[in-house]
Amino acid sequence: MTDKLNPREELVTLIPSMRAFARSLTRDHSAADDLVQDTIVKAWTNFDKFKEGTNLRAWLFIILRNTFYSNMRKGKREVQDVDGVFSGKLMQKPSQDSAMEFNDFKKAFSTLPDDQREALILVGASGFSYEEAARICDCAVGTMKSRVNRGRTKLAQIMEMSAEEIGAADASTLAVLSASTLS
């Protein structure tokens, strides 16, 4: 281990992951960056409350999350995926099937309730343990686990459904075709 970064220096390195978390909450690019900016200012002026040696990223995520929910209660900037962060409206024609699937995934993800989205991003993507994620969201570990499970199940259902829809569409086309040849 070399020199440890002081929290203010470390904060700078954590801005990208704060933006990613903020985007999963707000589903809007500019609202996410506003939220990160508010979080940085709050953290900067409250560093005396940060316990050194504890997880700075978790501390920042707590501030970010609290700011998001308190803004929401104040009715500030409630946006429904206006710039299509997750529904992929910004993407032009996807070049491959995988890009298409990924856009479908983002669309499905954006339909999940707030608590499931944040649980999946914290545990599934940012690498927090269930315990840490529960601390960030101020809930029981069991609650966090069930949010993650419900979110995964819902996504799996949507993904299976869209696969089936394609199958079903083909089947009905076939049915129509074979029916017309019969008559």
Partner 1 sequence: MVRKDLSAADPKREAINRQIEENLRKVYNETVSEALPDRFADLLAQLKTGEPKGNSENDR
The site for partner 1 (CB under 8 A) is made up of: 12, 15-17, 19-20, 23-24, 33, 36-37, 40-42, 44-46, 86, 102, 105-106, 109, 120-121, 124-126, 152-153, 155-157, 159-160
Helices (H), ranges, 2-112: 7-26, 29-45, 56-73, 97-110
Residue whose CB is less far from partner 1, 160 or 177: 160
Residue whose CB is less far from partner 1, 73 or 183: 73
Six token digits for residue 23: 């985007």
Torsion of the alpha carbons at 36, 39, 45 and 51, rounded to the nearest 10: -120
Quote the least distance from Cβ 47 to partner 1, whole Å. 11
Residue whose CB is less far from partner 1, 41 or 171: 41
**Rounded Cα distance, 182 and 5, in Å:** 77
Quote the least distance from Cβ 109 to partner 1, whole Å. 7
- CB neighbour burial string for 150-161, b if at least 16 within 10 angstroms, e if fewer: bbbebbeebeee
Residue whose CB is less far from partner 1, 40 or 64: 40
- Contact partners, residue 14, CB within 8 Å, separation at least 6: 56, 57, 60
